Structure 1
Amino acid sequence: MNRQGERWTAEQVLALAPDAASRKAGAKLAAPGPWSGSGAHTDGDASAVWGECKGSGSKPYRTVVDLTGQDGPGFHCSCPSRKFPCKHALGLLLLWTEGEASVPSSAGGPPDWAGQWLERRRQRVERAAGAGPGGGGAQAPADPEAARRRAERRARRIAEGASELEQRLADLLRGGLASVEGAGYGQWDETAARMVDAQAPGLAARVRELASVAGAGSGAGTDWASRLLEECALLHTLSQGYLRVERLPEALAATVRTRVGLTSDAAGLLASVPPVRDHWLVLAQRDSNDGRLVTRRIWLHGRSTGRMALVLSYGAAGRAPELSLPVGLALDADLVFHPAARPLRAVLGTRHAAPAPSPAPPPGGDTAAALGAYGEALRDDPWLESWPVMLSAVTPVPDAGGSGWQLADADGESAIPLDLRGGGGGDGMGLWQLTAISGGRPVPVFGECGHRGFTPLTTWEPEPVAL
């Protein structure tokens, strides 16, 4: 809901769900039957929805959603679920999207139980803002000398790990690539573990990627040796870059540090880097779970600057990250970009107004422009897997061999292969959604363009739909 009381779409609500099971369970609760005392209220920039849902116990579950929190919607429910948001919050919001007849607006504001939680939440936000950069409640900074010594120790450990990795690559090439064909992951596990010990998670991830190619061997196709050599070259370039990082241009040095696993502190960035203010359209939101950590990736596009941005948020296993920006909303907000040769990752700073619906897609280009954008980004960051791009009018069609799919430009002159491994669901659900929405007609599609093809994330018809 924005300041004028506009309601979200069902797609925007479902984009908040932590998993498919929560989406299904929430959809079952999107009916008036189990709900009582539900309502919505807008007061200036603040908006909230609340309601009581009948459960298995004698007391109903009390659910309230703060729609305009500084860090995205906030959720509270008296149910014991560890998922965030829970099915009751999703069901309530889905019911609210259906209009006044389902969840009426309340001129008097929320009931006491909902108002008390909303007030406590806003007080926490105000305290956090006061303790942040430039706030009156800021705590004294940690001992800068101790921080410098810690940074130096970690830099030495990473350099030792990079040197050890260089020796491992030299041994591999000296013995020949055929010596590792189909050898499995065992011989690489120790190397990856050593990189973790060296506090270089980026190098460890690259080693695991190398292991997956080597472990597959010729079973992955006749080009496995070429792929293995390419991965070795990228890993060698990265380790050598870090060992000589002080000699690199500042932007490239920042990219190398990030790639080996050294990240900038968000609070430090907000305090030291000039922000970029724009109306940022939320293009896509996607969660991934490695069993220990849930990572939420949120892609944004600046209306005036034309810049792409990627905001990351994290949650413990079993809980979705708190930052949630539904697809199709636009935020008048500040973003601070992490230093890099090709800046993309950003930190969300001050919001200057409540989010407002913006269903229209941003301007895009054709498949050639998408490949060109990825190529330019790759020139600055050779370890880049993909780059976010907007395609203005493409149609999903089977490729000539019938073994895969591609996105063809409206004029039919060029196309780009679809890569559905990183998006659209491992079961191809995103492909069938995209095909059904297109119906053989060109549609705008947002996604990531990389060396494996194009991963679709969102399309529009006429509202944005997450794939």
Structure 2
Amino acid sequence: MSERWGREQVIELAPSAVLARSAQEAADPARWHGTGCDDGGVWGEYRTGTPHGHEVSHHVCAEPSGPAFGCSCPSPVLPCIHVLALLLLWSDGGVRPGDRPAWTAELLERRRRAARTRRRPGPAPARASVARTPAGRASDPATVRRREQRVDDGVAELSTWLRDRIGRGLARHAGTDRRMWADAARRMVDRQAPGLATALHAIKDLSSPRYGADRPDRMLAELGLLALLLQAHRRRAELPEPLRATVRARIGFPVPQEEVLREGERVRDEWYVAGSRDVEQDRVIARRVWLRGRGTGRSALVLSFAPPGRPLDSSLTVGTAFDGELAFYPGAQPLRALVAERHGPAPAVPQGTTVDGMLQEYADALARDPWLDAWPAVLQDVRLATPEGSPVRPDALHVMDPHGDVLPLCLPPGDDARRASWRLLAVSGGAPFTVAGEWSPDGLRPLSAWHHREGAVAL
């Protein structure tokens, strides 16, 4: 092909970071057969096995110059995971020139016809219902049903697999843990359940030495939450609608931004930008920005994604505030949101709470969404403290509120921990200050601090 794309160009096509990560798992040369490329396109057959010995295959092709994509899988979204994986394989030089098979033209034409059918205006039953459906976004009901069935099959398969692993004992697989969990995650990608794949990757990562003696307890806790999610999906018809939306999101069903802006809960407030954190996951950077409403006390999480080297959304600066309206994604504990409207700046003074107040917020949120992995904390009038007789060092720092309640700080490893701890000490100077961060079972990870004389400092 005359001009080969870089990995960054391919990753930019992914509808979400979860799909980008799953595609990189699927870009395994051992799973691809009959690949080839010419001056106009790239093609191949993706094959994977199931625990029962069956083989599933999909024909995949792409014409980057269009771009135009085709895949025989039932995904309603293009580019799907298989198209992204094929393009990643091609960008890495893993596809050689060859003669294009006849099925590529048929597959691309079938996809074009399907797209034209979805866009063709029919006899609309009512003007209002047409206005609620953006052009080109309608999904074929048969495709949606096939996706639902594939996910149901994946949930049943994973449930059986987990029972088998627990029945045999996790210690028996200690030497092959990472490969075992990675293989299970790839099967969930094939079943179009990327959320389950992400959960399995998180369990795989628990084999890291940094968890030490806590590893078995952490793994069993995560397995319990995963089993709860699988059970909730099987019984989703019995769940109230907000919890059903949470379960679907955790499984990996995306909610388009247009739908969130159109139908999501709207909350107007003066939103303080409490903290920001960038997390890298397999060549995709996710920026997590935490907001807190000064009037409502409501917390919100705004996410953005980009490949390394590409700019992320920088419109929300830590330590600033704005009068605006957020649109929240559906769920039992609405937390993720989009900035729908901005009406102007607001006083950049955070409104925090006590340790007990934050823990009560977290407990209430966890009761609504037991799969929460982090919760925003803005603690007001706290001081830095260490256990009696302990020296001042990063792994011993706590914050203490006026009532004497304390929380341990969880600082990033290495030099970042030392820098963050000394910056906190410098901002506070031993006096009360406000700290914002992410609370998790590991402790409070500080992201920013605010002092009435020093102002806001990002950590």
Task: Specify the TM-score bucket, using the shorter chain as the normaliser.
Answer: 0.5 to 0.7
Match of 1:43 in 2: none
2:184 partner amino acid: T
Match of 1:255 in 2: 246
Match of 2:185 in 1: 192
Match of 2:302 in 1: 311
Match of 2:445 in 1: 455
Measure the CA separation in 2 of the matches of 1:190 and 1:454.
Answer: 33
2:443 partner amino acid: G
Q: Give the superposition deviation at 1:463.
A: 1.2
Contact 1:294–1:319, Cα closer than 8 Å, also in 2: no
Q: Give the superposition deviation at 1:216.
A: 4.5
Match of 2:215 in 1: 224
CA 1:442–1:405 in structure 2 vs 1: closer, same or farther (change >3 Å)? farther
The answer to whether 1:142 aligns with 2:136 is yes
SS in 1 for 2:277: strand
CA 1:377–1:442 in structure 2 vs 1: closer, same or farther (change >3 Å)? same
The answer to whether 1:466 aligns with 2:458 is yes
**1:142-181 correspondence runs (5 A):** 142=136, 144=138, 146=140, 148-181=141-174
Query: Under a length normalisation based on structure 1, what TM-score does the superposition of the two structures give?
Result: 0.64
User: What are the Cα deviations for residues 106-147 of structure 1, in whole angstroms up to 9, with x where unaligned?
Assistant: xxxxxxxxxxxxxxxxxxxxxxxxxxxx9xx9996227351x
Match of 1:26 in 2: none
Match of 1:6 in 2: none
**1:279-290 correspondence runs (5 A):** 279-290=270-281
User: What are the Cα deviations for residues 406-448 of structure 1, in whole angstroms up to 9, with x where unaligned?
Assistant: 42324472211111249x9854432221122222222110112
Match of 2:381 in 1: 393
Match of 1:265 in 2: 256
Match of 2:434 in 1: 444
The answer to whether 1:328 aligns with 2:328 is no
Measure the CA separation in 2 of the matches of 1:445 and 1:190.
Answer: 41
CA 1:178–1:156 in structure 2 vs 1: closer, same or farther (change >3 Å)? same
2:288 partner amino acid: R
2:410 partner amino acid: D
User: What are the Cα deviations for residues 157-191 of structure 1, in whole angstroms up to 9, with x where unaligned?
Assistant: 22222111111111111111321335441121110
Measure the CA separation in 1 of the matches of 2:235 and 2:188.
Answer: 18
User: What are the Cα deviations for residues 13-64 of structure 1, in whole angstroms up to 9, with x where unaligned?
Assistant: xxxxxxxxxxxxxxxxxxxxxxxxxxxxxxxxxxxxxxxxxxxxxxxxxxxx
Contact 1:300–1:308, Cα closer than 8 Å, also in 2: yes
Contact 2:294–2:350, Cα closer than 8 Å, also in 1: no
The answer to whether 1:277 aligns with 2:265 is no
Match of 1:365 in 2: 353
Match of 1:430 in 2: 420
Q: Give the superposition deviation at 1:465.
A: 0.8
SS in 2 for 1:361: coil
**1:339-354 correspondence runs (5 A):** 339-353=330-344
The answer to whether 1:377 aligns with 2:386 is no
1:464 partner amino acid: A
Query: Under a length normalisation based on structure 2, what TM-score does the superposition of the two structures give?
Result: 0.65
SS in 1 for 2:144: helix
CA 1:398–1:286 in structure 2 vs 1: closer, same or farther (change >3 Å)? same
User: What are the Cα deviations for residues 179-233 of structure 1, in whole angstroms up to 9, with x where unaligned?
Assistant: 13354411211101111222222211211222233x358x844343222221111
The answer to whether 1:338 aligns with 2:329 is yes
SS in 2 for 1:284: strand
SS in 2 for 1:335: strand
Contact 1:313–1:323, Cα closer than 8 Å, also in 2: no
Measure the CA separation in 2 of the matches of 1:159 and 1:237.
Answer: 15
1:437 partner amino acid: V
Contact 1:234–1:383, Cα closer than 8 Å, also in 2: yes
Contact 1:365–1:392, Cα closer than 8 Å, also in 2: yes
Measure the CA separation in 1 of the matches of 2:257 and 2:208.
Answer: 39
Q: Give the superposition deviation at 1:292.
A: 3.0
1:457 partner amino acid: L
CA 1:145–1:370 in structure 2 vs 1: closer, same or farther (change >3 Å)? closer
Measure the CA separation in 2 of the matches of 1:374 and 1:274.
Answer: 21
Measure the CA separation in 1 of the matches of 2:133 and 2:243.
Answer: 33
Measure the CA separation in 1 of the matches of 2:421 and 2:191.
Answer: 41
Measure the CA separation in 1 of the matches of 2:416 and 2:236.
Answer: 38
CA 1:389–1:157 in structure 2 vs 1: closer, same or farther (change >3 Å)? same
Measure the CA separation in 1 of the matches of 2:299 and 2:289.
Answer: 11
Identity %: 38
CA 1:427–1:143 in structure 2 vs 1: closer, same or farther (change >3 Å)? closer
CA 1:201–1:405 in structure 2 vs 1: closer, same or farther (change >3 Å)? farther
Match of 1:34 in 2: none
CA 1:138–1:157 in structure 2 vs 1: closer, same or farther (change >3 Å)? closer
SS in 1 for 2:376: strand
Measure the CA separation in 2 of the matches of 1:189 and 1:230.
Answer: 19
SS in 2 for 1:327: coil
Measure the CA separation in 2 of the matches of 1:197 and 1:181.
Answer: 25
Specify every segment of 5 or more residues in structure 2 that has no aligned partner in the other structure, as ranges.
Answer: 1-127
SS in 2 for 1:352: strand
* 2:199 corresponds to which of 195, 206, 224: 206
Asked which structure has the greater RCO (Cα within 8 Å, sep 6+), the reply is: 1
Contact 1:277–1:333, Cα closer than 8 Å, also in 2: yes
Specify every segment of 5 or more residues in structure 1 that has no aligned partner in the other structure, as ranges.
Answer: 1-133
Give the RMSD, CA atoms, in angstroms. Answer: 2.7
CA 1:280–1:140 in structure 2 vs 1: closer, same or farther (change >3 Å)? closer
Q: Give the superposition deviation at 1:314.
A: 2.1
SS in 2 for 1:222: helix
Q: Give the superposition deviation at 1:323.
A: 4.7
1:238 partner amino acid: L
